[in-house]
Chain A
Amino acid sequence: MKNKQTRREFIKTVSVSGGGLILATYIPFNNLFAGTADDPKIFSPSVYLKIDSNGVVTVIVHRSEMGQGVKTALPMLIAEELEVDWEKIIIEQADADTKYGSQSTGGSTSVRRNWEPLRIAGATAREMLIIAAAKKWNVDKSECYAENGFVINKKSKQKFSYGELVEDASKLPVPQNVKLKDPKDFKLIGKRIHRVDTPDKIYGKAKFGIDIVIPGMYYAALSRCPSFGGKVKSFNADKAKQIKGVIDAVQISNGVAVIADSTWNAFKGRDELEIEWDFGPYANVNTDDIKNEMLKHIKEEGAEFESRGNIHQSIKGEKLIDAVYEVPFMAHAPMEPMNCVAKYENGKVELWAPTQNPQNAKSEVAKALGLSENDVTVHVTLMGGGFGRRLVSDFAIEAAEISKVSGKAVKLTWTRKEDIKFGYYRPPSMHVLKGSVSADGKPLKFYHHVIAPSIRQMRFDKNLTAEKSEIKEGTVDLEYQIPNLKVTGTLIPTHVPISWWRAVYNSQNPFAVESFIDELAYAAGKDLYEFRKQMLPEDSRLLNVMNIAVEKSGWNNRLPKGKGRGLAVSYGYESYCAQVAEVSVMNNKLKVEKYTAVIDCGVVVNPDIVEAQMEGAIAFALSAAMKGEITIKNGGVEQNNFDDFEILSYDEMPVVDVHIVQNNFKVGGVGEAGIAACAPALCNAIFAATGKRIRKLPVRLI
């Protein structure tokens, strides 16, 4: 049967409880596949899934996979409600398109923001298939149920496969307010489902952005100004062009690119470019200048974020302490350096980009090239880590510009050195803390003044004030009941590009806060756990994770001299976390032995992935706490590679014991939730082991 149906497109809105509307686009794609009689018909009641007449179910993942497991977790949500055989699902990565809602893969939002929309998508399709079957049997839909890719007639036990129902189902109106499963009936959610992309990754078959090859493609490398804010004055590419394999050299807004027949030749050619730079207005700025900018404000009170009681009164018998904490710039340094494939042709550009932010790449590239967004296609590739770095679209713009100016399809590959030198860094910060405790060991006052650049102010809104900025994340709305409290902030400018870095301010602020809480506990002469416990309400989920961490870590067992345990708790991304670090320090040599980490992230979709994210977060946060830092010299980054920007290695990784709280609270974020408590737990443990209080990261014991 040849069915050349014309393309119809209905937009239906499905209301989502908890506010907001999602678009469910109903597109019978039949015409696209109607080449031969054997082509399947396709039923697509939502943008997130398709079922064809052979029963093949395809789930479209609209968030980016960078190791955090969305390619597994998001399809699990759809499959759970759709009642299909998990093993048979085909998973497709979505291109950039506004029809999916936000594709920005950051803020630990993928599961928590799609928890409902994706289940609704699955449930709606299931419902339509059931209705289609009921009509065929001429029974009420309540006489039918769905299971494992079939709709079954309860009485007659007859069944139709989903494939057989596709054509009828696609003619039905999309039902509203379908019923979602009761969590007790979940078959997939909560299970340790294996990741769908593991085999390809370990066999070397998976294609990351850097692995993409398209017909007629050349290889590009780019030379950028070593100081941020500088630009090309003039350049001479004669020597570069003498390198065998080098084809062209072109200037783009961000520097000079060399195009060659291989990555290596492009790198070699780029090294031969003679460029005269205008180093720009910040060519004399060094780390100390930025630090001094922060120091200028440490005596000020800062703009108020939050206040209660009166921190200025003096209380009889109180014991006052104060401290200043400091955190440096930090690079993301994912193992896959930045890269992008771009093909510009006839006023349109097609990109293959390892991006966490496909819609942003689309609009930024359109802007940079003076195109309409409709003329920019962004295919999202796998990415070798992201951690926030790939939320910025600089590499996509560069590749697109090189392709446009050179008239060639190119793959732009950054070297590691460029990846470290031309990043968008986690901002530095300084923290002034003051507090007091009573003679009987109760907290009386807590004051925290955060001094840091705001990403939003620097990049998007010059007029943003401290009060409205995000530098407060991780230090406001603390659950601790302290009668007199004030949290304030001051924004400082920086010419160094800054951006979101796994947890961002939720990494710096909790380091200062949870370390200082430890200082207060010592000042109070109390057990570090008991001191925190007395500040938390009895039904607190934070207290619960802390209790579990204390129990599982053997908190009360004595340790030999030179060893110590440190405790820290955090709330963020709608998840609660507690960590106990155990360290030993011998001759000023630090060894992190063990982390006990407890997370309460509400409903758990895939416990194995949650555990992996906690383990990974601890490794990532430990790198930042005890390994490399980014420093600035002459307006640019001093570090070059993993030898002078070190990250944690295998032998430095502690044992990580993760415990997940089982409950049915609203689903919380996981990717970043394990970061906050890690550094303060470490430094509190170092104090317990050595009596040395670490107030500046990264930890340097000598």
Chain B
Amino acid sequence: MSKINLTVNKKNYSVDVEPDTPLLWVLRDKLGLTGTKYSCGEGICGSCTVHIDGNAERSCILSAKDVEGSEITTIEGLAENPDHPIFKTWIELEVSQCGYCQPGQIMTLAAMLNKNASKAEIEREMSSVLCRCGTYHRIRKAVDKLVEDK
């Protein structure tokens, strides 16, 4: 085991894990930040999306060692501001069904909106975040509204 120093949601943590441990499992099993979800474990579905220095990244395929020194933000960090326009729109439109994929959807979109991504970029990025409940129709409504309100 080795000590790895992580900055998550502006807090510093020192964790004892094997350096190859994916960030996802450090967040979930070591830091108790279970809002970041496991679904495919291979970078396909986007459920585990977090922000690394402001970019949406898939925590299941990033080793903890690789993100030492980076600013990591999880859904819990974003939710420190529950009035974030994404949350408000998500509630207003009742986007969520089971809710499991939603942190990944929201984190992906939040990164895009922060950097004023184009509609085409948003379309591309959101198309790689899977939802089995089929909330896509409402996600699109929410995206359209958020882009328009910006």
Contacts and interface: CB of A to CB of B under 8 A. Distances in A.
A648 B134 contact: yes
Contact of B34 (A211, A219, A265, A337): A211
Contacts of A69: 97
Interface string B123-143: 110111111111111111000
A643 interface: yes
Nearest to B135: A616
B132 A66 contact: no
Contacts of B32: 213
A612 B138 contact: yes
A615 B134 contact: yes
B132 A647 contact: yes
Contact of A642 (B96, B130, B134, B140): B130
Size bracket, chain B contacts: 35 or more
A659 B124 CA distance: 30
B44 interface: yes
Given A416-B40, A647-B130, A334 B98 contact: yes
A195 B35 contact: no
Given A213-B32, A244-B1, A612 B94 contact: yes
A264 B18 CA distance: 10
Interface string B97-118: 1111111001000000000000
B42 A385 contact: no
A653 interface: yes
Contacts of A213: 32, 34
Nearest to B79: A203
A334 B38 contact: no
B134 A204 contact: no
A333 B134 CA distance: 13
Contacts of A366: none
B69 interface: no
A139 interface: no
A656 B98 contact: no
B39 A67 contact: no
Contacts of B21: 262, 264-265
A201 B102 contact: yes
Interface residues of A, number: 63
A306 to B, nearest CB: 33
B38 A210 contact: yes
A335 B79 contact: no
A612 B98 contact: no
Contacts of A208: 37, 100
A335 B131 contact: yes
Interface stretch (A130-138, A160-168, A507-515, A617-625): A617-625
Contacts of A337: 38-39
The 6 nearest A-B residue pairs measured at CB: A204-B35, A619-B134, A384-B100, A201-B99, A67-B98, A204-B75
29 contacts: A194-B94, A202-B99, A203-B75, A203-B79, A203-B87, A205-B76, A219-B29, A262-B21, A262-B29, A263-B29, A263-B38, A264-B29, A265-B21, A334-B100, A334-B132, A335-B132, A336-B39, A337-B39, A384-B101, A385-B97, A387-B132, A416-B39, A416-B45, A615-B138, A618-B134, A619-B137, A641-B44, A649-B128, A650-B131
